[in-house]
Structure 1
Amino acid sequence: MTHAPPTDPPTILLVDDEVALADSLALWLERQYEVRVAYSGREALQAFDDDVDVVFLDRNLPGLPGETVLQEVRRQSTSDAPAVVMLSATPSDELSDLPADDVLTKPVTKTDIFDAVARFTADTQEVPVE
Structure 2
Amino acid sequence: MRILIVEDDEILGEAISQRISRQGHGSDRVTSGSAANEILRHQQYDLVILDLNLPGLSGDRVLHKLRQRQSGTPVLILTARDQVEDRIQLLDLGADDYLTKPFDFGELEARCRALLRRHQGQASDQVEYGNLTLDRNTCQVSVSGQVVELKQREFRLLEIFLGHTGRVLSKEELLDHLYSFDESPSPNAIETYVARLRKKLKDSDLNIRTLRGLGYLLDEPNG
Same fold (TM > 0.5): yes
Q: Greater RCO between the two (CA within 8 Å, min separation 6)?
A: 1
SS at match of 2:29: strand
- Of residues 82, 86, 90, the one that matches 2:81 is 90
Q: Is the Cα–Cα contact under 8 Å of residues 50 and 77 in structure 1 kept in the other structure?
A: no
Tell me, yes or no, if structure 1 residue 126 matches structure 2 residue 126.
no
Q: Is the Cα–Cα contact under 8 Å of residues 38 and 47 in structure 1 kept in the other structure?
A: no
Deviation at 1:108, TM superposition (A): 2.1
Matches within 5 A, 1:1-130: 10-31=1-22, 32-48=24-40, 49=42, 51-78=44-71, 81-93=72-84, 94-98=86-90, 99-122=94-117, 124-126=136-138
The amino acid across from 2:53 in the alignment is: N
Cα RMSD (Å) of the superposition?
1.8
Q: Is the Cα–Cα contact under 8 Å of residues 41 and 62 in structure 1 kept in the other structure?
A: yes
Task: Give ranges in structure 1 of 5+ residues lacking alignment.
Answer: 1-9
Deviation at 1:120, TM superposition (A): 1.3
| Aligned mates of 2:70, 2:138 — CA distance in 1 | 29
TM-score normalised by structure 1 residue count: 0.79
Identity %: 29
| Aligned mates of 1:91, 1:62 — CA distance in 2 | 21
Deviation at 1:125, TM superposition (A): 3.6
For residues 32-69 of structure 1, the C-alpha deviation after alignment (integer angstroms, 9 at most, x for no partner) is: 21101010101112232453011111111122111000
Partner of 1:3: none
Cα 1:77/1:20, change in 2 over 3 Å? farther
SS at match of 1:112: helix
TM-score normalised by structure 2 residue count: 0.48
Structure with higher helix content: 2
Count of residue pairs the alignment pairs up = 116
